[in-house]
């Protein structure tokens, strides 16, 4: 399904104005320097020696008009770098330079061509598809000061191997639930209290959107069950409902709540998807996958939901009718929905690293990135619900000479050719775990079994953004109402 993409030329990004971002080079003498020195010593008169002066200022010979072109090569041109390899060459001037180019393009209305262009889903000839902005491949409002910082670090042995995103979640009430397959640990972020509950072989867990329930897939004897825990307080939980399933499904592998909290969608080991309606959990079965379902996610407007399995197949379903409308086939895929549009999603193949932006109504890829080697592996991809920035968690070798020693980092992209932030810890590595519900903080884990919380965007900045969106929505609503009255 992911067809070969053609590479397009991009405007060369010059770094003449920013000396800190120059590509290292060795400056050598010109080949004819001996002849130039001899001709300079043989100057007959003083006027010939000072012919490059203006008033009281001396103008060096290298700034003669005929030598300008020759000296320009020593300034150097910034090489277009691979976006996923930028972390190894990160400089403080990268964001300033990218922002400068974006401002120039916006001011003069320059349509910058993308680093890569996509062919359509049906495999027809490549077609350029314009996004909502000339500067971004998806709707995005990157932070003016993109610097994420760690605000807390805790020791948590055994959390790294392996990282299962279906066994952890962050509640709207600021409580984190994590399981390693034996017990369930609940950690309250505000007062840092920790509780451990004994559960029979937990396989998946997820909080409800309002934080009232914690749904857990586990076993009762040999039967797979879904438990609903009602959160009474930070220290008290009550099992309010238990749903039994047939042994033939194997076990529950992933759980996802609909955004309105009225449905629970569960993936199973055999590929069957169960849609359970609250509060009695009446079930409807969807049989499309043939292998273990690894992930299920709803679009933010609940118009669609998507599921993936071990074979790399993604099914996209109608959110209301629960009928599949699109099928994608890849290799070891991860995906996420854009938090604003509800119609765009990012799909990534882990290895070779590939990223695709797909618009569901048009059935078209609108942007892409694709590598041809196996040096970089994508761990996961996720969007920021506040800024629309795309976070790509990658594993790459520390040096080209040692492919066995790898580091983990999170690249924050505003477009598939624009890196705006890098979240990494040189000693411990950084593996993405989850967002907190309001999108201001990120939980990560290090290779040394440390659990860290990062401040991705300050709370006051989030409130300002949301207030601006509300004002814009009220303005648009008022404008539509005035137009309706005028028509009457």
One digit per residue, the tens of pLDDT, for the chain of length 488 reads 454 333 333 333 333 434 443 444 444 445 555 554 455 455 444 444 444 444 444 555 544 555 555 554 444 444 556 777 665 554 334 444 445 455 555 555 555 443 333 333 333 333 333 334 456 789 998 887 777 888 888 877 776 667 889 999 999 988 999 988 788 988 887 677 788 888 989 999 999 999 999 999 999 889 999 999 998 887 788 888 899 999 999 999 999 999 999 999 999 999 999 999 998 889 999 999 999 999 999 999 999 999 999 999 999 999 888 888 999 998 889 999 999 998 999 999 998 899 999 999 999 899 889 888 888 899 999 999 999 999 999 988 877 776 677 888 999 999 988 888 888 876 668 899 899 998 999 999 888 778 889 999 877 776 776 676 666 666 666 655 454 444 45
Residue 224 within a domain: yes
Report the DSSP pairing between strands 450-455 and 57-58: unpaired
The domain boundary, picked from 281, 307, 329, lies at: 329
Cβ atoms of 176 and 189 within 8 Å: the answer is yes
124: tokens are: 């027809």
Angle among Cα 488, 471, 388 to the nearest 5 degrees reads: 120
Counting beta carbons within 10 angstroms of the beta carbon of residue 347, is it exposed (0 to 12), middle (13 to 18) or buried (19 or more)? buried
Cα-Cα end-to-end distance for the chain? 50
The domain boundary, picked from 329, 352, 385, lies at: 329
**Residue 213 and residue 228: Cα distance in Å, rounded?**
6
Report the DSSP pairing between strands 263-268 and 252-257: antiparallel
How many C-beta neighbours within 10 Å does residue 64 have?
13
Residue 43 within a domain: no
Strands (E), 183-281: 183-188, 194-198, 204-207, 213-220, 223-233, 236-244, 252-257, 263-268, 272-277
Residue 378 within a domain: no
Q: Give the structural domain span for 479.
A: 460-488
Residue 96 within a domain: no
The domain boundary, picked from 274, 297, 329, lies at: 329
109: tokens are: 């209305």
Backbone φ and ψ of 325, nearest 5°: -115, -15
Structural domain count of the chain: 2
């Amino acid at each position: 399904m992911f067809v070969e993409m053609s590479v397009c030329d991009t405007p060369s990004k010059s770094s003449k104005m920013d000396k800190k971002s120059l590509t290292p080079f060795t400056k050598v003498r010109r080949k004819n320097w001996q002849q130039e020195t001899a001709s300079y010593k043989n100057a007959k008169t003083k006027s010939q020696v000072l012919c490059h002066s203006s008033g009281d200022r001396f103008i060096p010979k290298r700034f003669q008009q005929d030598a300008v072109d020759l000296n320009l090569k020593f300034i150097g041109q910034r090489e277009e770098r691979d976006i996923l390899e930028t972390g190894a060459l990160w400089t403080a001037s990268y964001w300033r330079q990218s922002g400068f180019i974006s401002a120039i393009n916006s001011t003069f209305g320059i349509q910058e061509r993308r680093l890569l262009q996509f062919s359509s889903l049906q495999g027809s000839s490549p077609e350029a598809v314009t996004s909502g902005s000339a500067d971004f491949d998806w709707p995005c409002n990157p932070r003016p000061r993109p610097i994420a910082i760690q605000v807390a670090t805790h020791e948590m042995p055994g959390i790294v191997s392996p990282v299962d995103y279906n066994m952890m979640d962050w509640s709207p009430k600021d409580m984190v639930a994590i399981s390693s397959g034996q017990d369930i640990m609940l950690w309250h972020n505000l007062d840092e209290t920790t509780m451990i509950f004994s559960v029979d072989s937990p396989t998946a867990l997820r909080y409800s959107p309002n934080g009232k329930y914690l749904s857990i897939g586990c076993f009762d004897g040999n039967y797979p069950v879904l438990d609903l825990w009602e959160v009474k307080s930070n220290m008290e939980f009550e099992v309010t409902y238990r749903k039994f399933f047939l042994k033939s499904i194997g076990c529950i592998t992933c759980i996802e709540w609909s955004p309105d909290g009225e449905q629970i969608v569960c993936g199973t080991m055999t590929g069957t998807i169960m849609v359970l309606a609250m509060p009695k959990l009446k079930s409807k079965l969807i049989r499309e996958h043939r292998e273990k379902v690894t992930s299920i996610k709803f679009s933010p407007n609940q118009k669609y939901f998507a599921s993936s399995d071990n074979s790399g197949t993604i099914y996209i379903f109608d959110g209301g009718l629960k009928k599949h409308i699109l099928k994608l086939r890849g290799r070891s895929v991860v995906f996420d929905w854009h938090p604003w549009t509800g119609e765009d999603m990012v799909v990534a193949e882990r290895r070779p690293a590939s990223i695709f932006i797909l618009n569901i109504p048009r059935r078209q890829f609108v942007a892409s990135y694709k590598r041809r080697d196996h040096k970089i592996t994508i761990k996961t991809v996720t969007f920021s619900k506040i800024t629309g920035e795309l976070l790509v968690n990658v594993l790459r070798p520390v040096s080209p000479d040692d492919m066995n020693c790898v580091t983990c980092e999170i690249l924050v992209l505003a477009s598939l050719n624009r890196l705006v932030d890098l979240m990494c810890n040189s000693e411990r590595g950084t593996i993405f775990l989850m967002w907190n519900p309001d999108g201001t903080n990120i939980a990560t884990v290090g290779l040394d079994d440390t659990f860290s919380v990062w401040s991705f965007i300050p709370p006051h900045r989030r409130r300002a953004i949301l207030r601006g969106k509300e004002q814009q929505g009220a303005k648009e609503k008022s404008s539509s109402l005035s137009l309706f009255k005028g028509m009457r």
